[in-house]
Structure 1
């Protein structure tokens, strides 16, 4: 059990990109971290616990929750970062596309969040952060993304619901809604087309997302919000 008083963060989708950046950022804050993804390697840091598995499988969430509470004794923050994006015209989505996106974005969120909230209730405090997309609220004719709107929009509504349900228990819930971020999914933008989709004229960086999550981490009077980190896309063009 955690006898040190040090806080513990859980990050899903943590093997690369935003997730890996969040693991590093929470470690720099002095948190112990539990990190999961399908391909995450073991960590040489004794304060980083890695659990390999598909978050769409509820069994992964259960193994993760048991491992982190068994080793560190608590969960102070859960960042639901794991996500799958498939963009195509609505009528071209296959049932396999639907099941894959719903599995990661909704089922993956559902079980690990249940287990984290149960632990947070025992502690009397906690923070939930969902990573979504600003397309959920601001659709684009050039970027058809129904499954993102269906799933990530659902997470934004769930964020508010959780914030109100658990406010009296010291548990906050917030969302960070992203534009296009330079990650292994979008490693570059040779022609500048992705940058031009943002009024600020550039793609987001992992550091921009980390900065927003850490703001919410420290903002103890903020709950139930969706914070756009999208270069102005949600404000319009």
Structure 2
């Protein structure tokens, strides 16, 4: 059984951090299920692309069903899909609120519940969730109430899952980010965003990937909120 390749599900996998995680897990010999709302089929036979909105329970069920049909197991789930809407609190619309809760919370719940059920049957597994250090340390000039409401909830849920499933060999951790240089940030904003970090620069995708890979190997680590944020959570 030890010779059977492990299997990782990565949500939000079409670009940026998610695409970097797919490459990193493949480099470790994992088979990977890559999910995003819009993601092309993979040329790699050990990467299964499953398109669809993770906020839809039917999509989450399809991801798990197709994973088990093709690869037969689920060892790791990385909850990377998420959205961030920066608006003053009083300017959030009902649509903003619904979208943030749908992707950040419903998406997490839908896939994590199904993945952990399979991990229980296998006798173990690993869940990593990508959150934001704004939940620990709000920054003046960066309105983040919906991020704190949703991602802060994910940090709390991560600790609860870690305790609930510790004796069942299922670990749950989170990687809490500063601003990472991805396609979602226009180049003209980089200087301003870099100044939000005590280290004076943006984070790189590979630095997030390294943190997730550390948690993949850190078998005695569970319930941890690992900050990869250039010092933001420590202070300014």
Counterpart residue number, 2:144: 145
Following superposition of structure 1 onto structure 2, how do residues 38-187 of structure 1 map, counting pairs within 5 Å? 38-187=37-186
Preserved contact between residue 40 and residue 52 of structure 1 (Cα < 8 Å):
yes
| Partner-residue secondary structure (3-state), 2:187 | coil
CA RMSD of aligned residues (A): 1.3
Could you list the per-position Cα deviations for residues 81-108 of structure 1 after superposition, in whole angstroms to 9, with x for gaps in the alignment?
0001001111100000000010000000
Preserved contact between residue 177 and residue 229 of structure 1 (Cα < 8 Å):
yes
- Counterpart Cα distance in 1 of 2:230 and 2:220: 25
| Partner-residue secondary structure (3-state), 1:167 | helix
- Counterpart Cα distance in 1 of 2:85 and 2:93: 11
- Counterpart Cα distance in 2 of 1:191 and 1:117: 38
- Counterpart Cα distance in 1 of 2:93 and 2:119: 38
Tell me how far 1:190 sits from its aligned partner: 5.9
Shift >3 Å, 4+ stretches: none
- Counterpart Cα distance in 2 of 1:131 and 1:6: 24
Tell me how far 1:38 sits from its aligned partner: 0.7
Preserved contact between residue 190 and residue 202 of structure 2 (Cα < 8 Å):
no
- Counterpart Cα distance in 2 of 1:91 and 1:106: 21
Aligned residues: 236
- Counterpart Cα distance in 2 of 1:128 and 1:210: 14
- Counterpart Cα distance in 1 of 2:134 and 2:16: 20
Preserved contact between residue 189 and residue 195 of structure 1 (Cα < 8 Å):
no
Tell me how far 1:46 sits from its aligned partner: 0.4
Q: Which runs of 5+ in 2 are unaligned?
A: none
- Counterpart Cα distance in 2 of 1:71 and 1:117: 18
Q: Which runs of 5+ in 1 are unaligned?
A: none
Could you list the per-position Cα deviations for residues 151-185 of structure 1 after superposition, in whole angstroms to 9, with x for gaps in the alignment?
00000000000000000000000000000001111
Counterpart residue number, 2:16: 17
Tell me how far 1:188 sits from its aligned partner: 2.4
- Counterpart Cα distance in 2 of 1:9 and 1:35: 9
- Counterpart Cα distance in 1 of 2:179 and 2:3: 39
